[in-house]
Structure 1
Amino acid sequence: MRPFHIVEGEEFLELMKEVAPVYKVPSSTHFKKLLCDKYDVMKREWSVKISKANDLCMTIDVWTETMNEKSFLGITTHFIEQASITNLNIATRELNTNHTAEYISNVFSDILNDWRIPLTKITCTVTDNKANMVAAIRQTLGESKHLPCFAHTINLIVQSSVNIASIQALISKVRNIVKWVKNSVINSDKLRKLQIEAGVPEGSTKKFIIDIKTRWNSLYYMLEHFLDMFKLASALTLDSTDSPEMLTGQEIEAIKKIVQLLKPFEFVTKEASGQNYVTLSKIIPMVSCLISEVRKFSTSIECVIQLQSKLMAECNKRFGLIEYNTYAAFGTILDPRFKNLHFQDANACGRAIQKLKSIIEVDVSTSSEEEDVAKDDFDFCSPSVKEKKGLQKVTKCPYIYPAQYLA
């Protein structure tokens, strides 16, 4: 993870002279060439894997490298290889102009062309909910092949919901205390000393966590850790004249209720972040359980009641039609753990089942004709059924649904 030019540094060369006096250290250009050669080899190997896959899914994201203020577009392709999920990062392309939908669409298309991936092979593409990303995929692949990221949607729901003045006031008080401790070596040492004096082993002492704006669950962890350590924080603030204002008993109780209310959102965020197992079929069940948990939550604290109401409204806004999403509905129905148990809308469930039946009927019908073709291949006395019907011989198992319908 060091820059190439480190091998030309004076101190590095002196070190190598001591370690291996007869070794001639190659130039940075040499290592760049080795890396480019390795990239070419890996690209050829990955291209073969991708070309053999029947269907592909893509995940696309744009992010900014804050140190250099450069933006990049990352693309990962997902497919089934020998009954296992395979994920390959095929591009990290620097973006040189405004992130318009047209520009992102052009860069995406250029990367697909570079890897010789036909658009017809792509089943679905997952992005965040930003308008330019959604529009870019629709321009490139069409509306039916786009799926918003579930975890990002949860992030938007919580971030929008906690944006209540009374809730923000509580969060700010916690954040100020956390910053006050973390930004001071003296306070951090005092915190660790207090825990050791309380009998906590040296290696098991805890630290405060500060939240990050782009990760809602970091806010949850900050509040959760603060509740575990607020007595220690109280002792620290009482022992200092420049400490921020400590929370009252009523405010601590409100924070406890906020953490309790947000816990289901933290659970589904973690559950939806798996890489080595399928998560699509869990979306409808998780949304159903999430809304149920928020709805039955009970409290008498006014600001938490407002938060609960806002969370319900945002969930209905973002997930109100989730059962009509073909990918999510098919995935849930075909998952033997869930089937149609978590559908709240009978029309949406019936619509999905009817679509599946029509797909199965077409697939079974096609497979029957293929069996006729296979039988006729051994009949050398009569004209080929293939010639009569104009069919192409295929080897797909008739009992496996086409991957594009399973997403």
Structure 2
Amino acid sequence: MLNAKNFRGSHTSDAIAATLKEMLDKWQIPLDKVHVILRDNASNMRKAMDNMKVRSLGCVAHTLHLVVIEGLLSQRAVSDAVASGRQIVGHFKHSPLAYSRLQDIQLEMNLQAKRLQQDVKTRWNSTYFMIASLVEQKRALSAYTADHDLPSTLTANQWALLEKTMNCLEPFEELTRKVSSATSSTADVIPSVTVLKRVLSMETEADSGIKTMKRTLLEAVDKRFSTVEDEPLYVLSKLLDPRYKDRFFTSADSAKRGKDALAKELEEDVRTTTADGASTALEPPGKPP
């Protein structure tokens, strides 16, 4: 972390660009040395990068988060089940007595005493973790409702929907964890998105009840990641990564465009090196340049 700054006032694109430029100037980093800026997907952030004339990329984890939200809201039965689950978690979060009673039940059932996880709109994958915690404590929660009231209850069908939703969202959680790790790179993006599309395209018997959500998730991935194979940073880094090379492109045309872009990049690099005179160092001794 080189610099953090409190941002006051309206978050306009001009104000964001000016603040970033001020931070770069403080560290004597000229704009032509900025390789790429990672940003969220807000329009003011996009415009700020355009105003600065620097290359930028949207945060992949944030984009996945937006895809999941779109999918969860697409099917009423799923969103209702999630909303009921959220009310249940909120009840235990705000009532120490209720949590103590649930903890006693967990111990009686030889279950590990765990708190239910509340989801947060701005926390990626938090809804997945909330659903997973509810499913894990299904037996304890069912026992709790036999003697105590809850603000909402889940029917057998809703429990089934939550389990299917959790399984459907698991690849998103895995991918978010992968792209958020310290060892991740831009080379991972295209392969990860391609695999995610394949998983969502597969139809199974377990899709019953969540078909609309799964279809919406696939459509959202297609829409929000529609340009990944046109972004040079993603394409070149994948081609140069020995794990991926020219695999995971969704079409032969995309692969050809990527290879052409790499060849052009190498030609430009050779021209620049030659112009700087560095190539003469490679000539055998005594041989005329």
The question of a shared fold, defined as TM-score above 0.5 by the shorter chain, is answered with: yes
Q: Do the aligned partners of 1:284 and 1:322 also contact (CA within 8 Å) in 2? A: yes
Match of 2:113 among 205, 208, 211: 205
Residue matched to 2:213: 307
Q: How does 1:275-314 map to 2 (within 5 A)?
A: 275=182, 277-299=183-205, 303-314=209-220
Separation in structure 1 between the aligned mates of residue 16 and residue 268 of structure 2, nearest angstrom: 37
Separation in structure 1 between the aligned mates of residue 172 and residue 139 of structure 2, nearest angstrom: 26
Residue matched to 2:101: 190
Residue matched to 1:77: none
**3-state SS of 1:94 partner:** coil
Match of 1:170 among 62, 81, 90: 81
RMSD: 2.2
Match of 2:235 among 329, 333, 343: 329
CA offsets 1:203-261 (integer angstroms, 9 cap, x no match): x4211111001124110001011111011111112211x32332121111111111111
CA offsets 1:332-371 (integer angstroms, 9 cap, x no match): 1111111111001222211111121122234345556524
TM-aligned CA deviation for residue 104 of structure 1:
0.5
Match of 1:356 among 258, 262, 267: 262
Separation in structure 2 between the aligned mates of residue 302 and residue 126 of structure 1, nearest angstrom: 38
Separation in structure 1 between the aligned mates of residue 203 and residue 178 of structure 2, nearest angstrom: 21
Runs of 4+ in 1 over 3 A off after TM superposition: 299-303, 361-369, 373-376
Match of 2:154 among 224, 236, 247: 247
Distance 1:344 1:140, change over 3 A: same
AA in 2 matched with 1:174? G
Q: Do the aligned partners of 1:323 and 1:345 also contact (CA within 8 Å) in 2? A: no
The answer on 1:155 being equivalent to 2:62 is no
Q: How does 1:8-407 map to 2 (within 5 A)?
A: 89-142=1-54, 145-164=55-74, 165-200=76-111, 204-240=112-148, 242-275=149-182, 277-299=183-205, 303-364=209-270, 367=273, 370-372=278-280
Q: Which runs of 5+ in 2 are unaligned?
A: none
CA offsets 1:300-342 (integer angstroms, 9 cap, x no match): 7665111011111111111122111111111111111111110
Q: 319-328 or 280-289, which moves further after superposition?
A: 319-328
AA in 2 matched with 1:190? R
Q: Do the aligned partners of 2:178 and 2:184 also contact (CA within 8 Å) in 1? A: no
CA offsets 1:120-156 (integer angstroms, 9 cap, x no match): 10111110000001110111134xx111111111011
Separation in structure 2 between the aligned mates of residue 264 and residue 154 of structure 1, nearest angstrom: 11
Q: Do the aligned partners of 2:61 and 2:124 also contact (CA within 8 Å) in 1? A: no
Separation in structure 1 between the aligned mates of residue 262 and residue 269 of structure 2, nearest angstrom: 10
**3-state SS of 2:255 partner:** helix
Q: Which is greater in Rg? A: 1
Structure with greater helix percent: 2
Number of residue equivalences? 286
AA in 2 matched with 1:155? H
Q: Do the aligned partners of 2:131 and 2:166 also contact (CA within 8 Å) in 1? A: yes
Separation in structure 2 between the aligned mates of residue 335 and residue 375 of structure 1, nearest angstrom: 30
Structure with greater strand percent: 1
- Give the fraction of aligned pairs with identical amino acids, expressed as a percent: 27
AA in 1 matched with 2:67? I
Q: Which runs of 5+ in 1 are unaligned?
A: 1-88, 386-407
Distance 1:247 1:374, change over 3 A: closer
TM-aligned CA deviation for residue 375 of structure 1:
5.8
AA in 2 matched with 1:91? N
**3-state SS of 2:2 partner:** strand
Distance 1:251 1:301, change over 3 A: farther
AA in 1 matched with 2:82? I
**3-state SS of 1:95 partner:** coil
Question: Under a length normalisation based on structure 2, what TM-score does the superposition of the two structures give?
Answer: 0.92
